[in-house]
Chains A and B, each alone.
Chain A
Amino acid sequence: DSGVTQTPKHLITATGQRVTLRCSPRSGDLSVYWYQQSLDQGLQFLIQYYNGEERAKGNILERFSAQQFPDLHSELNLSSLELGDSALYFCASSVDFLSYEQYFGPGTRLTVT
């Protein structure tokens, strides 16, 4: 157990809908990262937050957004969902904004029908 928690574990929704994925980092970690894992695209970095501020952006679609709250938990919002958004979404955390050691959560499996 990495200490990173993600909810929900599974999510099934329809095209066009909006969902929110939640992540709580390990105690003491200030950075949160979001990744998408799909059969088509593999593992892709989406976005990083450090202590409430956006630090780095990867291949995140405009339909997706994220934020990190004062208590350091983070949410990833996915809107206007398409079939291709079906994937496993991982959150990871690290102590600092330089990610020498990242600890991954169990993931949220999103299925868009």
Chain B
Amino acid sequence: ELKVEQNPLFLSMQEGKNYTIYCNYSTTSDRLYWYRQDPGKSLESLFVLLSNGAVKQEGRLMASLDTKARLSTLHITAAVHDLSATYFCAVDLTGNQFYFGTGTSLTVIP
């Protein structure tokens, strides 16, 4: 069974700082997704990464995919309070089955 691990599970960071969330998965896949979930809310799609070396950026967030290392990263630049949320990565093996990571709960402190 595919295993998807995220670290860290919890992240508390100061505004203005940079940090990276890691997503490792156990089986080869070239489709990986990042989602954001605010407390009590649904999931919001952030990035869709569909090939090795894919890099996507939106505002202060940048996601990348290394399929050979089975690793994706979500990099946060100059964090602001609005980025506080839980971030999930999800790996797609067959085109229609998502395996989600454990989630990283991010708190940005003023």
- On A, residues with C-beta under 8 Å from B are 2, 31, 33, 35, 42-45, 48, 50, 55-56, 58, 90, 92, 97-107
Among A33, A45, A105, the one with the most B-chain Cβ atoms within 10 Å of its Cβ is A45
Determine the distance from Cα of A42 to Cα of B90 in the docked complex, in whole angstroms. 12
- Contact assessment for B42 and A107 in the assembled complex, using a CB-CB cutoff below 8 Å: yes
Q: How many A-B residue pairs have CB under 8 A?
A: 55
Contact of B97 among A2, A31, A48, A103 (CB under 8 A): A48
Q: Is the interface of B mostly helix, strand, loop or mixed?
A: strand
Chain A residues near B43 (CB-CB < 8 A): 90, 92, 104
- On B, residues with C-beta under 8 Å from A are 31, 33, 35, 41-45, 48, 50, 88, 90, 92, 94-100, 102-103
- Contact assessment for A98 and B48 in the assembled complex, using a CB-CB cutoff below 8 Å: no
How far, in Å, is B94 (CB) from chain A's closest CB?
Answer: 7
Sample (24) of A-B pairs whose CB atoms are under 8 Å apart: A2-B44, A31-B96, A33-B98, A43-B103, A45-B97, A45-B98, A45-B100, A56-B94, A97-B95, A98-B96, A99-B92, A99-B98, A100-B31, A101-B48, A102-B33, A102-B45, A102-B98, A103-B45, A104-B42, A104-B43, A104-B44, A105-B42, A106-B41, A107-B42
